[in-house]
Copies of this chain bind each other. A is one copy, B any other.
Amino acid sequence: MPEQRDRMFRASLRRLVRRGAWGNAAKLLEKSHPVDIAEVLDRLTETDRKAVFHLIASDEVRAEVLALLEFAEGADLIGGLDSDAAARLIGRMPPDDAASVLREIPRDRADQILGAMGESAEDVESLLVYAEDTAGSIMSTEYVALPEDMAVKGAIEHIQSQPPTEASFYVYVTDERSNLVGVLSLRQLIMQSPDKQLRDCMVANPIRATTDTDQEEVARLVARYDLLALPVVDAANRLLGVITVDDVIDVLREEATEDILKMAGTTVEEVTQPNPLRGAWIRFPWLAASFVGGCLGIALLDRFEGVLATTVQLAFFMPIILGMGGNVASQCAMVVVRGLSTGRIELGSLGPNIARELGTGLILAVGFGAGLASLAVLTGYGPSAFPIVVGLGISASMLIAATLGTLLPLVFSRLGADPAVASGPVVTTTTDILGIAAFFLVAHLLL
């Protein structure tokens, strides 16, 4: 099994690094595939990663490893080199990966590296104009485009004469103004009679993205139409690049990870770096927001000191009321966030989704409210209205939670903000405060 082999390779390399056996580590690296080296680097600490990277002898392999790493990690490794050495590596990388790494480097440093690259910087520079996370920023400029009046025979000969590129399983067909007019798979091409013109056998009007299409939309198109590559055009329909399915897979993994971590109020950067102090700093904002929310809770409960002092058992029910509200809120929020990002929920037709979430919330609120009230009867706590108070309290808290959990991500999304952010600490903190307020308001009125 390849998995087991990997694990052994990583274990050996790690052992050599730990022992400082640099000579043996270098020898092991020389025999390894760049993919495997990248996998190991990805899991080392920052210091070890730099040390191992510098052990790789060939510029070729280093460039390949850089293209395989997360771009921020690649930028980190490049950061330790002088401009000439950096330029040599960047120049050997596919332009799209090179541009992505340079985006993560401070602007003036990136300019130095581009300067040191001379003319070969052109391809990379032309990609740097596109905003992050757009089709333009992840497209490759290496693809096969041929004129529509070329014959099939000529097309095959052209492909045979070219070095292999990432996207060589499709041939794109352009008209005299370089406009994208059709596509042919290599397989379709070899099925045609040699003298036919490409325009007569191509699939016309292929699915495409423009340079400013969001990368999530790119992923959706590729997934939906089972494409191996998606052509990218400018506003005038001129073919500028191609996004291959392997980049789409990277986008999908990245976006899913981002969604999950954002919901927890943390980021990918935190996970990829080993310093706990920086980790704490990254998490601090969301926890601080939650802390401020908690302080509002203290102020709120202060106003209800009277009822709490006369019926101290109310406090016993705070954890269950807060906990159930929190769980309901995250369930609703995650369903909505994931629905929005997979496209199952559309902002244009929210009615049935909202109705279903709130319906589910209502059923659960009534059920658990009745349950908690019955339990309170058994405990015999407080005056006779006590069971009704805790029953209504938990129901109110769960209903508030379902409403906020469903609506806040939708509101964020409508405002153009990321709904994943809303479904984490924002939803739970707001739910906590409103839930407690509802509980003690009921207590204040009935006790």
A binding-site residues for B, Cβ under 8 Å: 1-3, 7, 11, 14, 35, 39, 42-43, 45, 156, 159-160, 164, 166, 168-169, 185-188, 190-191, 207, 210, 213, 217, 221-226, 228, 245-246, 248-250, 252-253, 256-257, 259-261, 263-266, 270-272, 274-277, 279-280, 283-284, 286-287, 290-291, 293-295, 297-298, 301-302, 305, 308-309, 312-324, 326-328, 330-331, 333-335, 337-339, 342, 344, 346, 348-349, 352, 355-360, 362-364, 367-368, 371-372, 375, 379, 424-425, 428-429, 432-433, 436
Contacts and interface: CB of A to CB of B under 8 A. Distances in A.
Given A186-B187, A323-B432, A368 B287 contact: yes
Nearest to A267: B335
Given A283-B360, A320-B291, A348 B7 contact: yes
Given A275-B356, A286-B327, A291-B320, 14 more contacts: A7-B348, A43-B344, A186-B186, A190-B190, A253-B342, A260-B263, A260-B337, A276-B358, A287-B327, A298-B320, A301-B319, A302-B316, A318-B318, A323-B432
Nearest to A321: B294
Contacts of A1: 210, 213
Contacts of A222: 249
Nearest to A331: B264
Contacts of A362: 276
Contact of A164 (B187, B257, B298, B358): B187
A229 B234 CA distance: 31
Nearest to A332: B264
| A293, A316, A364, A371 — most chain B CB neighbours (10 Å) | A316
Given A164-B187, A185-B169, A187-B164, A297 B312 contact: no
Nearest to A293: B323
Contacts of A364: 280, 283-284, 287
B326 A326 contact: yes
Given A265-B327, A349-B43, A375 B295 contact: yes
B191 A160 contact: yes
A234 to B, nearest CB: 14
A190 B326 contact: no
Report copies per complex: 2
Contacts of A277: 359-360, 363
